[in-house]
């Protein structure tokens, strides 16, 4: 009986030290993953904005050419980048001002659904002035967005596909 108890105690001690070993190993894995996460590249606010700038430009030429499928695509790219700012730029208080552009964006989306160039143009103008309202609200008033006069690239057609 004595031997059995001693044996059981030995087993318990062995199991405990095994447990401690596993915990230390897991902690080391968590630390190493955390380390990798900390060094993962994520785009900054300005990089998302530069991407929005391109889609804002293309959106104009898609809409004014009546290429509604492309216009819909471009506006969704803008919405996606704004969503990414909310997700990835939580350290930037400016991200809290994104709400102001949601309705103007939706109004352009509605004009695209209605396939109305007139509605599109007037709502695009409001959208663009809201870009600037946010730049003013976030001390970036020097960054002035305008209705584009030329597409950003020469290797893309904005006419609807045949
Ligand atoms: C939430 C407020 C907000 C809204 C809405 C907003 N911006 Fe910005 N934008 C900023 C801030 C803040 C910066 C500065 C980012 C930085 O720190 O690099 C910026 C920077 C920019 C830049 C400068 C990027 C560069 O490096 O030259 C462009 C271009 C730009 N925005 C375009 C737009 C366009 C186009 C829209 C509308 C479709 C828009 N922004 C809407 C806040 C906003």
Q: What are phi and psi of 12, to 5 degrees?
A: -60, -45
Which residues' Cβ are closer than 6 Å to ligand 1?
45-46, 49-50, 52-53, 56, 78, 94, 97-98, 101, 131, 134-135, 138, 140, 143, 145
- Rounded Cα distance between 64 and 109, Å, is 14
- Model confidence over 33-80: pLDDT tens digits? 999 988 989 899 999 999 999 999 999 999 999 999 999 999 999 999
C-alpha 156 chain-centroid distance = 24
Ligand 1, atom 21, lies closest to the CA of 49
CB 75 within 8 A of CB 119: no
Would you place residue 21 in the very low, low, confident or very high pLDDT band (cuts 50, 70, 90)? confident
Candidate of 42, 48, 49 to mutate for ligand 1, largest count of ligand atoms within 8 Å of Cβ = 49
pTM over 0.75: yes
Q: What are phi and psi of 156, to 5 degrees?
A: -135, 135
Q: What angle do CA 42, 47, 51 make, to 5 degrees?
A: 120
- What is 45-137's CATH number? 1.20.120.290
Residue spans per domain, the chain: 1-40, 45-137
């Amino acid at each position: 009986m004595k031997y059995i108890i001693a044996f059981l105690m030995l087993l318990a001690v062995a199991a405990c030290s095994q447990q401690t070993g596993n915990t230390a190993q897991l902690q080391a894995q968590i630390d190493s993953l955390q380390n990798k996460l900390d060094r993962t590249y994520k785009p900054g606010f300005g990089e998302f904005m530069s991407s929005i700038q391109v889609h804002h430009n293309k959106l104009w030429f898609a809409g004014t050419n009546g290429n509604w499928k492309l216009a819909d695509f471009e506006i969704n790219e803008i919405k996606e980048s704004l969503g990414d700012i909310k997700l990835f730029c939580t350290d930037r208080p400016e991200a809290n001002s994104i709400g102001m552009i949601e309705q103007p964006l939706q109004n352009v989306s509605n004009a695209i659904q209605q396939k109305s160039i007139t509605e599109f143009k007037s709502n695009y103008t409001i959208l663009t002035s809201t870009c600037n309202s946010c730049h003013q609200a976030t001390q970036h008033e020097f960054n002035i967005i305008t209705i584009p006069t030329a597409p950003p690239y020469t290797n893309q057609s904005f006419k609807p596909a045949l």
